[in-house]
Structure 1
Amino acid sequence: MANRFKPGDIVQLKSGGPAMTVAALNEHYMTHAFDGYKCEWFKGASKEWGNFAEETLQEYVAPKKA
């Protein structure tokens, strides 16, 4: 099965939160099996990052302007 996202895609947690950029696909260090995504985002001027399972992410949709 193909990965849903690729590096450069903009995603968001299904539970909400900031828009994040997929920086890399994670692989398990021994089996090299796909193990989720490394995502990056900004919190103020600080760059943050975290690893997320595919099931927790969705494509980011920008809020509509009024």
Structure 2
Amino acid sequence: MAKAEEFNTGDVVQLVSGGPEMSVKTQHSDGEYNCQWFAGKKLEDGWFPGASLKLIKKRGE
């Protein structure tokens, strides 16, 4: 099994299956990432396994 990509705080990611672009907020030691995104004007957040995410752009790019 391939190792999931690692993301850093501030990276912009998206679910492999699609959906909104999200910013990585924190990483848990078990490889899950807390991400946040806007749904309209409301800030949402949730935890996602690293394998379910793809990188859109690195922080600062």
Structure 1 position 58 matched with structure 2 position 54: yes
CA distance in 2 between counterparts of 1:16 and 1:35 reads 20
Which residue is 1:43 aligned to?
39
Asked which structure has the greater CA Rg, the reply is 1
Please report the TM-score for the alignment, with normalisation by the length of structure 2.
Answer: 0.79
Please report the TM-score for the alignment, with normalisation by the length of structure 1.
Answer: 0.74
Runs of 5+ consecutive residues of structure 1 not aligned to the other structure: 28-33, 62-66
Runs of 5+ consecutive residues of structure 2 not aligned to the other structure: none
Shift of 1:35: 3.4
CA distance in 2 between counterparts of 1:17 and 1:55 reads 15
CA distance in 1 between counterparts of 2:53 and 2:9 reads 14
* CA RMSD after TM alignment: 1.7
Structure 1 position 14 matched with structure 2 position 19: no
Task: Give the ranges of 4+ consecutive aligned residues of structure 1 lying more than 4 Å apart after TM superposition.
Answer: none
Q: How many residues get paired?
A: 54
Shift of 1:4: 1.2
Of 3-12 and 16-25, the range deviating more from structure 2: 3-12
- Percent of residue pairs bearing the same amino acid type: 39
Q: Which has the higher contact order (CA 8 A, sep 6+)?
A: 2
